[in-house]
Each structure stands twice: as structure tokens, then as C-alpha cells.
Structure 1
Amino acid sequence: MAEITAALVKQLREKTGAGMMDAKKALVENDGDESAAIEWLRAKGLSKAAKKSGRAAAEGLVAVKVAADGKSGAIVELNSETDFVSRNESFQKALEGISNVALATDGSVAALSGAASPDGEGSVDDMIKRMIATIGENMTLRRSAKVSAAGRVSSYVHNAAAPGMGKVGVLVALEGTGDLEDAGRKVAMHIAATSPAAATTAELDPALIESEKRVLTEQARESGKPDSVIEKMIVGRMQKFYKEVVLNEQPFIMDPDKTVGEFLTAQGAVLKSFVHFKLGEGVEKEENDFAAEVASMTKGA
């Protein structure tokens, strides 16, 4: 039987947020094996991290990181329950470390979650569980991605809360002969402002195209025009739609007389790929009636 020391109990409590007696019992039940004790606490519902895992996390920060050689970049979204936590120095330091780890992975959430944590204790997923227990809010490594190019990867963060972190992050990978870093940053700023759905028309989601065609067709039919005329109307309206959602077709925000594609050509650059993360995009946020919540807490007080 392994000796269950006070130091072991303290360490387990810090990682899980469990009570002292529960932490000690978990270690006793699992012969001092910390990993097994953590799982035991989660199974018993005694780990605060496990209890908080069902709560909505739609705040947080997006972090971007470009490798020293400029050939690759990673982007990570780490969510928390409140914006207050995202301004916490420990949260930002952890995200900084996680984004560095992401550069050494294939960019997927699965690979990043299972990679060695920047603090050297278990995996990135383990580290996030410890943060949940310590800070007291649910956190989620929601998504991550990686881009690379033989030329240059540039980044942009809108309204940065800390270096390389903010509510909106963009990575742009370019190849060519011009000033790729400058061109890439300008295009990244454009992407942050316009949120394009794809780089080219060919890369647009077919389901999105069909959905837009159906909407435009229904709108055109309300005019009472014959189908032959409607078909021609749809062609023109789809061209307008492409200019709104396709990056290379959009008017460049820094020179609206040119499209983004024309700007890149003039710079001697070719777009290889881009990634755009907007914090909490697609996450349903829980709206609470704060007054009612306070009232319910004070009943019977």
C-alpha cells in the first residue's frame, strides 16, 4: 500500500477541486495513483471540474501563433463561462502555452488535447481540467487549426486583449515573390472585417450555394415573372452573392476599386489558405435573468 502523504492529497485537491477527505479517500482507493484517483473522483461526481463541465462556455479568447520561420501558424479558441475569466492572467498564460503546443500538432482539437501540456503535467486536456478546478468555471478547448505555406503565414487579432489574443483571430498563408508578410496582414485584417465563407467560389459549401439559390428563386417568383426570366435574374444575383462571401471576389477594404484577388495579384502573391475564428461563433449563449437569480438565492434568507 502506497503511503498517502499530505503533499499528495494537497496536489490532488489543487488539480480537481475536491474536498480534503474526498481527495484522501480517492488516493487510498487507488493505492496512491493520482491519475486513477482523478478518474475515481470524476466517476463519483466529487470533482468540481466534472461538475462544471456541463455549463455553457461561450466567452474566452482566440489566440494565434506564427512559427519563428513564418512558414506555419496555429489558431486556438479556448472558451470560458465569463469574459472576466478571459482577462485573468493565468487564463491568458495557459492559452499562450496551448497555442505554442498547437504549432507542433496537426492542428486538430483531438491532437492538441492529447499533446503534452505546456506546464509539463499530463496532457493539454489535463491542464484544462486543473484550470477548471482552480478558477471555478467550465472551460472548453472548442477548436483549433493550423496553416502552412512555402511562402509566409501572417496573422491578425482584432482588439487584442493580450499579445496574440482577442475576440477575433485570423491566419493567412501566402506564396509568391512580393512582400508576403505585409500583404498577408492586410488580407487578414480584411477577413476579420468581412468574414468570408471561402477563398474561391469553387471552395464554397455546395449546401450554402443551393440554399441561397432557393431563397433567391422564391424571392424572384414573387415578382410574377416567367421562369426563363427568373433564371437569368438568379445568375446575376448569385454573382452578387459571391462578391459578398467569397474572399477573392470581395472588394478589398483598403482599396474598394480592386477585389482581394486583384490586390494579391498586384502584390505578386497567391492565397494558399486562411482560417478565421470569431469567439463564440455558433455557440448558444445562456441568457440569465440576473435579478430573478439573485431573488431565488435570497429566498428564505
Structure 2
Amino acid sequence: MKKKRVLVTGGSGFLGSHLCERLLEMGHEVLCLDNFFTGNKGNILHLIDNPYFEIIRHDVTFPLYVEVDEIYNLACPASPIHYQFDPVQTTKTSVHGAINMLGLAKRIKAKIFQASTSEVYGDPKIHPQPESYWGNVNPNGVRSCYDEGKRCAETLFFDYNRQHGLRIKVGRIFNTYGPRMAMNDGRVVSNFIIQALRNENITVYGDGAQTRSFCYVDDLIEGMIRFMNETPDTFTGPMNLGNPVEFTILQLAETIITMTHSSSRIEFDPLPMDDPMQRCPDIQLAQKAIDWAPQTTLENGLEKTIHYFKPRLKALK
């Protein structure tokens, strides 16, 4: 494979750090860009001594001038706690960030990947969700800064493709988990694991019957890279990237309690506003176009994630 110079925005975050690591393993040069609002330097410390790795402290809402072959645009807070902290800035990151990265890609004729999200489907009326589904999104709710920001970013990507012939890839990422998740970001897998390891009550919203599908991070990164390197380079997406195996939130909580040998009990709180009741990808397109499907079972992925969190919780005591 040809050695490439690759820019990863949001490169010190959960997904970004795994992507940077994988690209370096493949022999590429990596520019990791992050403003460190939700990113964590600890996620990339082990990469700093690599001569082909470079860190740039920068906010994607401002223009950037670098020379690269490919861009992966991952920059944006992805958990409700973080993206609702400053919703205006969240929308700016999605929209202005997309404009700036698309402008850069256009100037230097680089291929660009947009990390979109399953949130573009909102609270879906179709299950599982195929890429052809337009979604059921509240445009003025507390989650809208993220949902509509990502939807607008998709619009910009496809307009740049149609108007300027820009080479784009738009991947809709579903729930992903694994090592390097932030402990305080409010995501369901990390929340449950931390509560279980501390033997605290596990908080389940609603009655726990709402469903999610959980993709282990290594599988997700493999899908992103396969999509970016798809041959022939003719398919733009959007493409769902996630695990089609569905679990209820209550099943997830019970599984984690069992795997951690925890004395935690489950407590139920009211369901947050606009929280979708079902979320599961139809990945037939990914299976056909890039021969991709997740390989890691939930139990195996949870085991690795629990192993990651255990020593970090002990260090906090």
C-alpha cells in the first residue's frame, strides 16, 4: 500500500486515537489534530515517540493549512454530556468544521471521510435503519445541536462532491465502545462498567427495554479504513458502520454486572428527552461494498473494556 500522509481531526479522542494508531501500523504518516476539549493526551502518549506521528493543537472551526493525502474528520463531542455543555459550539464544530475540512480537501485535492452518526436517524420509525431512511429528528430539542449538526455536515459533503467533484466518504457510526472511552462522558457502556466496578447502583433510563447495538472499536476502525480504501474508489456513502446484533439496555446492565462479579443493583430513572427507543444498523451495504461486518462478540469486547477500566479506577482511589 502506498505510504500516505493522513490528517485525523479529533485524533486524541476515543475513536481518533485508535484510528491514528492503526494508520501508523499500516505505515502511514499521521497528523493528529485536536483542541483537547474532549480529547485526551493520554490516549496518544504511546504514539508521540513515533517519528511519523505529529500532534497539532487546533480547533476545526478555524481554517487549517496543511498538505495531506487523506482527511478523516472525526472532530466533534459525541456524548450528550459533552455536546449539550455548549450546544452552539457543538453545531459550529459540525458545520464550520465540515466547511473548513472540505475547503482544505478541495484545495489540496485530498480524499475526505466524514464521521457521521446514527443520530441522523433520530428516533427511527423504521427498524433496523437502512441508509435510505431519512430519519425522524427533532430539529429544536436538547440533542438537536449534535443530530442536526451532523445532518448539515452530510449535506455539505454531498454538495462538495456534486459541485466540485470532491472525493468523499460518509460513514454513519453507530454505538461503539472499547478501551480509551472517557470515564465521565455519560455513555452507557462506560457508565455501566464504572458503576459495576464500584459496586454502585446501575442507572437505567426508562424501563430498560430500549435497544442499542454495540460495535467494538477495532471492528469500527477496520470498517472506516476499508471504506476509505474501497476499490474502485466510486462509492461515497452514506454507509452504516455498526453492529447489527441488538440488545436491550437492561440486558447490557445485567451482562456487565455478571462479568464484573458486582454487587450492583439496577435502578430506573426517567427517560431523557428525545432518547431513541430503537437503534440498530442495517449493514447490508457495508457487507456488499467493502466486505465488512463486526467480528467481536459483545462479551469479548466488554471483557477488554472492563480490563481497561479496572486499573484506572484503582488509580483514582
TM-score bracket relative to the smaller structure: under 0.3
Q: Please, what TM-score do these two structures have when normalized by structure 1?
A: 0.25
Q: More helix per residue: 1 or 2?
A: 1
Larger Rg: 1
